[in-house]
Amino acid sequence: MPELKRILLAEDSPQDVEMTLEAMGDYHLANEVVVVGDGVQTLDYLYRRNQFANRPLGNPIVVLLDLKMPKMDGLEVLKQMKADPDLKRIPVVMMTASREEEDLIKSYNLGVNAYVVKPVDFQQFVDSVRKLSCFWALVNEPPPNVSARH
C-alpha cells in the first residue's frame, strides 16, 4: 500500500479544525489530515496506542501542533517527541493564537521546526495554512527513515 502523506493536526478547537480544513481543502490535502483533540491523543497516535492502536503504519510527514490544549499542551508533546529517537525527526510546526515571546523561545529550545501565529484575519489565516501545508506536504522532502521501524 502506497505511503500516504499524512498530516497530523493537533487542535482542541473544532472551529479552528474546520477553518484549517477549509483552507487546506483548496489543495486537496484535507483528506490526508488526521485530527486529534489534545496532547495525550497526539502521543497516542504517534505511538499507535489506545484508539489509534490499529492505525496504518508510518509517521506523519508533519505535525501541526496547537500550543494550548487540554490535558497536555503542545510544548509537552514537543518535548516528548524530540526526546524520542524514533519521533525526533518528524517536523513539528507549532500553531498558536498569540506571539508570546516566552513560548517562542521555549519551542525553539525544544527543537521545533516552525512556529506560526494564527492570523485573526481569515484571509491571512487561509494564506498561512495553505503555504504551510503546501510546503511541508508537497515541497519538503521528509526524513528517509520516517517509517524505518515498521
Partner 1 sequence: MSKFLMLFRTRLLVLIFLVVLPALALVLHGYLGQLRLEKTRVREGAIAMSRLAAARQEYYVKDTHQLLATLTELSFFVLSKDRSFCQTGFSNLLKLSSDYVNFGLIESNGTVFCTGLGGDAAMDLSDRAYFRRVLEKKRFSLGDFQVGRITHEPTLNFGYPVRNEHGDIARIIFASLKTSLLTEAITNIGLPPGASVGVLDRSGIIVTRVPDTAKWMGKDVSAEPVVQNIISGKAVVFERIAQDGVKRLYAVTTISDGESPGLFVNVGIPVAVSYANANRTLRRNLLLVAAIAAVIWVLLWFLARRFFLKPIDLLAAASKRLALGDLAVRIGNAEGAGELAELGRTFDEMAEQLEKRAAEINRLNADLEKRVEERTSQLAAANQELEAFCYSVSHDLRSPLRHIGGYTSMLQRHLGNTLDEKGRRLLNTVSDSTRRMGILIDDLLAFSRMGRAEMQEGIVDMNALLEEVVGGQQEAQGRHIEWKKSHLPKVKGDSALLRQVLVNLISNAVKYTRPRDPAIIEVGYRNGEERDVTFFVRDNGVGFDPAYAHKLFGVFQRLHDAEKFEGTGIGLANVRRIIQRHHGQTWAESVPGEGATFYFSLPKASD
Q: Does 120 bind partner 1 (CB under 8 A)?
A: yes
47 Cβ contact list (under 8 Å, min separation 6): none
Q: Does 106 bind partner 1 (CB under 8 A)?
A: no
How far is 46 from 135, CA to CA, in rounded Å? 22
Give min distance, CB of 9 to partner 1, in A. Answer: 15
Query: From the CB of residue 104, how many other CB atoms can be counted at a distance below 10 Å?
Result: 16
The cell numbers describing 105, all together, are 523561545
Q: Does 115 bind partner 1 (CB under 8 A)?
A: no
Q: Does 118 bind partner 1 (CB under 8 A)?
A: yes
Give min distance, CB of 61 to partner 1, in A. Answer: 25
Residue 59 or residue 96: which is nearer to partner 1 going by CB? 96
Would you say the C-alpha torsion 74, 133, 128, 101 has a positive or negative sign? positive
Binder of partner 1 out of 27, 50, 71, 100 (CB under 8 A): 100
How far apart, in Å, are the Cα atoms of 136 and each of 9, 13, 33, 72?
13, 22, 12, 25
Q: Does 130 bind partner 1 (CB under 8 A)?
A: no
Residue 108 or residue 122: which is nearer to partner 1 going by CB? 122
How far apart, in Å, are the Cα atoms of 103 and each of 64, 66, 109, 141?
16, 12, 10, 27
Residues that bind partner 1 (rule: CB under 8 A) add up to a total of 20
How far apart, in Å, are the Cα atoms of 60 and each of 32, 105, 131, 136?
10, 25, 18, 11
Q: Does 68 bind partner 1 (CB under 8 A)?
A: yes
Binder of partner 1 out of 31, 50, 51, 98 (CB under 8 A): 98
* Residues that bind partner 1 in the complex, under the rule CB under 8 A: 13, 15-16, 18-19, 22, 68, 96-98, 100-101, 118-123, 125-126
